[in-house]
Amino acid sequence: MAGSPYKNLRMFGNLCGDHAASRVLLVSTMWEKIDPRIAEKRESQLAREFWKGLLEGGSRIDRLMTSQMSESWRIIDSLIQQSHEREATLLQQEIVDLERNLNETQAAQVLHSDLQKLLYEQKVSIKSLLAQVEKSDDPKLKADLQKEYDKIHKQFEKTFHEVRKLKIPIGRRIILLFSFRKPSSVGGLFDYVLSA
pLDDT digit string (tens) for 31-89?
999 999 999 999 999 899 888 888 888 889 999 998 889 999 999 998 888 777 667 77
At 84, is the secondary structure helix, strand, or coil? coil
- DSSP string spanning 108-125? HHHHHHHHHHHHHHHHHH
Flag whether pLDDT at 190 surpasses 70. Answer: no
What ranges do the domains of the chain cover? 3-90, 99-180
From the CB of residue 18, how many other CB atoms can be counted at a distance below 10 Å? 19
pLDDT digit string (tens) for 95-131?
887 888 877 887 787 777 777 887 788 778 878 877 8
Give the C-alpha separation, 191 to 17, whole Å: 12
Given this model, what pLDDT does residue 189 score? 56
Domain over 99-180 is classified CATH 1.20.58: yes
CB 110 within 8 A of CB 163: no
Separation in Å, CA 178 to CA 104, 151, 173: 14, 43, 9
Q: Give the DSSP H/E element, type plus range, for residue 141.
A: helix 139-166
The model carries a pTM of 0.55
Residues 6+ apart with CB under 8 A from 34: 42
Given this model, what pLDDT does residue 180 score? 65
Give the C-alpha separation, 61 to 39, whole Å: 13
